[in-house]
Structure 1
Amino acid sequence: MQLTSHKFFLPFLLILFFLGSYYYTFDPKIAQLGDNASYYMLGKALSQGEGYVNISKINKTPNNHYPPGYPAILGVVMLFSSDIITLKLLNGLFLLGSVLVLFALVNRLSSSHLLAFITASAMLGNFHIQQYSSLLMSEVPFMFFSLLCLLFISRSGSTDSLRDKNFWFAIALAVVSYYIRSLGIALIAGAVFYYLMEKHWRKAGATALASFAGVLPWFLRSQHLGGGSYARQLQLINPYRPELGTADFGDYLTRITENFSRYVSVEIPYSIFPGTRPDYTASGDTGSWILGIAIIAITVYGIILLPKFRWLILGYLLSTFGILMLWPDVWVGVRFMIPVIPLILTGLFFGLYTIFSRFFRQANKNFHPAWLVIPLLFMVAPLGELHDQARLPLHPAWQNYYAMAEWLRKNEKPDVVVSCGKPALFYLYSGTYTMRYAFEDEPDKLIRDLEEQQVDYVVLDQVYGNTMRYLLPAIKQYPERFEQIVYAKNPDTFLLKFRRLN
């Protein structure tokens, strides 16, 4: 029996690779992303029986921004442990599960154990996937459930019968994926597209109707609370500069053009070959455009030539990127496409295998899939950078920011209200109520908002650029309303007592 066809040996090897790479790249620090702290707080609120609310806010308002799936997973674990390292390791398990599911999925798509192993290895060695697997973020859990959904669809039979339990498991997993990330709607659309292309009309209709019923409760809740925040952000020219107003038809055309250009010339090449960090202030150079177009062409070519389920993978990818083209073009980064990187790798490796096989065949030679290890090595080379990042200390600006929070934890009651640039992260260290100052160019309006929100302290930090844009001008115009309590230098960071008049 050949090792490459052994159903236990290659998955066991993937597990060993996972243990080594995850230990090598794991970062125990809290990421400087507000989202990971928000997920933690929402999970904590659920575990404490307080509901799906923002426990860092004084009025504990219902949360209507993040889908509840990932916080619910964290909440279950928090019933036993709230340790951040433990919760980070949970995402590591989701990564391992994703690798093994991808191995099984590619094996079904290509009928090649070795090709499945190489693709899963490339996913495991991907810089971005490894990076997010040690963050308290929803990308990797979403990737696991979406890949598992695709695997169950591939196992649901080739007929239009609704009796196969794998079909209904797939729908359930698609709904779960949506509750983890709203982008899960692309997974549902991709499944419906696949069934329509296969002329499985009953499965297409059942998928659409059952999925709609599954996501309806969250949609109705969001509407009751004023509509989903993501939908509102999509309508703005710049979600970080709401004063610029809402986008019109011309703005959307510009957005699609800018997003298309960036994804082809920057995000897609960087997602697969992350050897050089992209410059988002400039357009991609000629080499980046050529690499991006080549990756897309080979990936699409490989997917179209898959022996089975090509419309499933293609439909999901088209739906995903169709949505990403509509997102505000200030939302840059590979983060949004992380869950579909495994499928890009699937098409890319199968495309390369097909191209080289045909080329070698013309020379009366055989091309062995093991040669695909060569491009694989170029993809995993930057993992050393993750290793180095994981062992770097916090930037001094963040050290000072958290020092303000820790001072409050030791010297103030937890019911004080603090206004700062990154409220969710500040809460993890202060335990106080936190909120962000208003994005108001007029200092009078910002001060009025601090009054209305019953703010006790403000943090003049250097971790968030908008602090200097909005908060600093208000402090300069009304210095008598602020009293310095704590100061840290290099860089200058201040904890200021806000003197309310009411």
Structure 2
Amino acid sequence: MKPEKTKAQTGSAHIHHHNSIAEPGLLNAIERFLNRNSSILLGIALVLCALFAAMLFDGRLSFATDDATYINNAYNLIHHGTYPTFQGALYPFTLALLLSIFGMKLLLFKLFSLFFLLIQIFILYKALKNRVPNLVLFAGLFTVSFNAYILAYGSYTFSESFFMMIQAICLWAFFKLIDHLQQDSSLKTSLKWWLLYGFCFFLLSISKNAAVICSGIALVYFLARKEWKFAAFAIAFFLLFRVPYEVIARAVFGNISSTQTEMMLRKDFNDPSKGSADLGDFTDRFFENWGQYISTHTFKMLGLRGNGVPDLFTLEKMKELQTPMEASGFYSLIFILFFGAALYYSYKYNKYIFFLILYVCGMSFFTFIAVHTLWNQDRFMVIYLPFILAIFVYTMYAFSKSEKGKFFQPIAAILAIIFVLVQLVGTLKEAPKHSKFARKYMKGDEFYGYPQGLQNYTKACRWTGENLPADSGKILANRPVEGLVYGKRGMFVRIPKPVPTNADSALAFLKKSDVKYLMIDESNLGQIRAVAQVIATKYPEKINPEPVHVEGTLEPTAIYKLNY
């Protein structure tokens, strides 16, 4: 079986099993309609994405700490020169630029997340138009516009929206490269496209740590097509940018090795003393993650299995994560059949879909090996949803264009529309639940929806930024990254692990960290309260008995001053 080698043509004719869209047939008629109205449909996709993202808008930080951590990493990069090692560095670098220009503006950061989603739609359109069937193209684009799980990231400062934008840019750059190579493979004429590919894939590799394998996926693509020289170039031009970056970053910041690597290699994430995982552990991890992320999260997020909660770590989401949906061999089989058939058809007829399949499978494979099964978060797959649905639709489309599958054309068209509309219906159901948050936010109640204790905590953080002098010392707090965002100053310190159990060690840590205040809230595990009690028992004069400030009456947060 040889991959297609035909010269790229205008329109979509070169990708349709050698059939022109001018020929009769239901799918060809749909292709002609979509092709004529492609610009209008792109505009509709952009408008609906913005509209639904606004309907699902959430002005708060999530219950998780990752969104606040990205901002915290950007702050530390600016003020302390600290390289962000745990997550991909490019997004914190981008936030650092925004932070240095505009200051701590949470709403602005959230609006940029929406902007990244919109840019992704436009770039995906440019990357896929005239390269994949229009039905496949718009199934992918409207997944971004309609899917509540994707849209939720349009109002959070997680890295997913940003990564999806960079991902789309990489696809555009790679497809431009392979189009040029098909016409002229000489290095002299293709150099600028190789450089563009190398730079874009380098950016992708520092956007998410798992994406470091992206050039390896390009390598596999060229090897599968027996284009040996290009396979070598794929690695070389990636390293042309990645290696100097590593050298310069280490010279400027020192050690920039990701702390995620050490965590990934642990046998038990919560217990480093159990040592490193072996081959059997990684194998077990892969198959358990496959069940969680493919048969459960992927189909749930596409609206094809059960009713999930697209909110990011709300109380409802936490309950869902505590009682996860069971993995299903049936849905796993459906996924394998669709992707297997798509791989067969695309290898013969459409190199762009072929690369998309390699990309989704390669990134997912690495993720399933790298992440511990206890994390079980749908955000690891949400970044690939537009591609997964596009591949599903392509499988049906390709089969329907074959001689044996012509009867399937009406079914393929109907199923493609259903796959998209199911996501729209799910989002329309979610929108009324979120509209109250948007209304409250617009009226100034930005903490509406938080549990009472967390509301008091975040308000107390804001009080410290507005009332405590800048040189008044640090504050020991339960959630310091949120404190930075709402207090707008880097004055919050996390309680150490292990928690100090005697007064002298506790005071030594507090003095070393320049901590002058304790923020004690009722919603945490009581660790800071326990530290305060240990100190007060032995050295009662070290803590003022009366709080400097108390926020709230039900589940209050109190701030106490230390006296050294």
Which TM bucket (shorter chain)? Answer: 0.7 to 0.9
Normalising to structure 2: TM-score of the pair? Answer: 0.76
* Alignment-derived partner of residue 184 in structure 1: 211
C-alpha contact (below 8 Å) 2:339/2:357 kept by paired residues = no
Q: CA deviation at 1:175?
A: 0.9
Matched, 1:459 2:516: no
Q: Distance in 2 between matches of 1:280 and 1:316?
A: 27
In structure 2, the gaps of 5 or more residues are 1-21, 23-31, 310-316, 438-447
C-alpha contact (below 8 Å) 2:120/2:164 kept by paired residues = yes
Relative distance call for 1:154 and 1:227 in structure 2 (3 A) is: closer
Matched, 1:17 2:48: yes
C-alpha contact (below 8 Å) 1:186/1:316 kept by paired residues = no
Partner amino acid, structure 2, of 1:224: G
Write out aligned runs for 1:193-342 (5 A).
Answer: 193-220=220-247, 221=249, 224-225=254-255, 227-237=257-267, 241=270, 246-249=275-278, 251-273=281-303, 275-277=307-309, 279-281=320-322, 284-285=325-326, 288-306=328-346, 307-309=349-351, 310-325=353-368, 326-342=370-386
Q: CA deviation at 1:446?
A: 5.5
Write out aligned runs for 1:22-421 (5 A).
Answer: 22-43=53-74, 52-53=77-78, 55=79, 61-78=82-99, 80-82=101-103, 83-110=105-132, 112-156=133-177, 157=179, 158-159=181-182, 160-162=185-187, 163-164=189-190, 165-220=192-247, 221=249, 224-225=254-255, 227-237=257-267, 241=270, 246-249=275-278, 251-273=281-303, 275-277=307-309, 279-281=320-322, 284-285=325-326, 288-306=328-346, 307-309=349-351, 310-325=353-368, 326-354=370-398, 361=405, 363=407, 369=413, 372-383=416-427, 384-385=429-430, 388-389=433-434, 391-392=436-437, 393-395=448-450, 396-415=452-471, 416-421=473-478
* Alignment-derived partner of residue 436 in structure 1: 494
C-alpha contact (below 8 Å) 2:87/2:258 kept by paired residues = no
* Alignment-derived partner of residue 482 in structure 2: 425
Q: Secondary structure at the match of 1:496?
A: strand
Matched, 1:494 2:535: no
Q: Secondary structure at the match of 1:180?
A: coil
Relative distance call for 1:447 and 1:79 in structure 2 (3 A) is: closer
Partner amino acid, structure 2, of 1:295: F
Q: CA deviation at 1:373?
A: 1.3
C-alpha contact (below 8 Å) 1:101/1:148 kept by paired residues = yes
Q: Distance in 2 between matches of 1:293 and 1:449?
A: 54
Q: Distance in 2 between matches of 1:238 and 1:417?
A: 33
Q: Secondary structure at the match of 2:206?
A: helix
1:356-408 Cα distance to aligned partner (Å, 9 max, x none): 66799465975563652122222232224255236331412221111221232
C-alpha contact (below 8 Å) 2:55/2:434 kept by paired residues = no
Task: Name whichever of 401-410 and 436-445 sits farther off.
Answer: 436-445
C-alpha contact (below 8 Å) 1:437/1:450 kept by paired residues = no
C-alpha contact (below 8 Å) 1:30/1:135 kept by paired residues = yes
Q: Distance in 2 between matches of 1:365 and 1:37?
A: 48
Q: Secondary structure at the match of 1:382?
A: helix
**Percent of paired sites with the same residue:** 15
RMSD: 3.2
Partner amino acid, structure 2, of 1:347: I
Q: CA deviation at 1:90?
A: 1.9
Partner amino acid, structure 2, of 1:233: M
Task: Name whichever of 76-85 and 168-177 sits farther off.
Answer: 76-85
Relative distance call for 1:448 and 1:399 in structure 2 (3 A) is: same
C-alpha contact (below 8 Å) 1:417/1:433 kept by paired residues = yes
Structure whose alpha-carbon radius of gyration is higher: 2
Q: Distance in 2 between matches of 1:387 and 1:425?
A: 27
Normalising to structure 1: TM-score of the pair? Answer: 0.84
Relative distance call for 1:125 and 1:404 in structure 2 (3 A) is: same
1:98-152 Cα distance to aligned partner (Å, 9 max, x none): 1233334444443x22331222112321122111122122211211121221122
Q: Distance in 2 between matches of 1:364 and 1:252?
A: 40
Task: Name whichever of 68-77 and 141-150 sits farther off.
Answer: 68-77
* Alignment-derived partner of residue 443 in structure 2: none
Q: Distance in 2 between matches of 1:275 and 1:422?
A: 31
Relative distance call for 1:284 and 1:40 in structure 2 (3 A) is: closer
Q: Distance in 2 between matches of 1:70 and 1:332?
A: 23
